[in-house]
Amino acid sequence: MAVHFHENDIPAGVFGEGAIAVDTETMGLATPRDRLCLVQLADGQGDEHLVRFAPGSAYDAPNLKALLGDRDRVKIYHFARFDLAAIAHYMGVMAAPVYCTKTASRLVRTYTDRHGLKELCKELLGEEISKQQQSSDWGAAELSDAQKDYAASDVRFLHRLRDALEAMLERERRDDLARACFDFLPWRADLDLAGWAEQDIFAHV
């Protein structure tokens, strides 16, 4: 297992076929205000790739954009809604089709209200991950080893989590419902970017 660090783009052909785990790190939670700093990727084979974008970046990353925009390759996220919006806003790519482990967890782990990545990894995989670097400065000129390891851990287990959650969804006969929700997530991200982030347009009031 290795963590590979890249500036501005990934090398061509670094990934084989199959689903790609994706995560992002930004300067905050307000997408138009808080720039995209890092995109993390993993193919489930043991290595993670981190792509850093410096301040003022044009996000001209043809290899990464081609990967994220590939409609034949599923992208696995944890809380896809946020990552999809950040990638769409800064890179101009809707990185779908989607599998969201947080959405899947909320649909099938109805015995708990703990749907964070840390809790999922511990319960379903027996893996402990640290969230200590979650709120660190991702726009710094140099990222620390602790930041890089944290960022890599956010995609390291997503393939295994998908498999575990998919088995639960199928067992409870909620897999079709989950897929319909996943298909809607790019539109939910578009609604966020268009100004409806804080409103439930399906609510009665």
If we measure between CA atoms, which residue out of 59, 52, 54, 42 comes closest to residue 3?
42
Instruction: Identify each DSSP E strand in the chain by its residue range.
Output: 3-7, 20-26, 36-42, 48-52, 75-77, 98-100
Provide the pLDDT for residue 118: 95
Every domain of the chain and the residues it spans: 3-196
Give 67-85 as a DSSP string: HHT-TTS-EEESSHHHHHH
Mean of all residue pLDDT scores within the chain? 96
| Dihedral in degrees, nearest 10, Cα atoms 170, 113, 184, 61 | -100
Contact 75, 98 (CB under 8 A): yes
Contact 28, 82 (CB under 8 A): no
Strand order in the sheet with 48-52: 3-7, 48-52, 36-42, 20-26, 75-77, 98-100
Q: Residues 43, 152, 100, 65: is their CA dihedral positive or negative?
A: negative
Provide the pLDDT for residue 133: 67
Rounded CA separation 34/18 (Å): 31
Contact 165, 104 (CB under 8 A): yes
Provide the pLDDT for residue 75: 98
Rounded CA separation 33/150 (Å): 23
Q: Given pLDDT bands bounded at 50, 70 and 90, which one contains residue 156?
A: very high
Rounded to 5 degrees, what angle do the CA atoms 123, 124, 130 make? 60
> For the segment 132-145, what is each residue's pLDDT rounded down to a tens digit?
667 799 999 999 99
Architecture of domain 3-196: 2-Layer Sandwich (3.30)
Average pLDDT rounded to a whole number, residues 95-103? 98
pLDDT at 155 over 80: yes
> For the segment 14-40, what is each residue's pLDDT rounded down to a tens digit?
998 999 999 999 999 999 999 999 999
If we measure between CA atoms, which residue out of 160, 159, 178 comes closest to residue 124?
160
> For the segment 34-54, what is each residue's pLDDT rounded down to a tens digit?
999 999 999 999 899 999 999
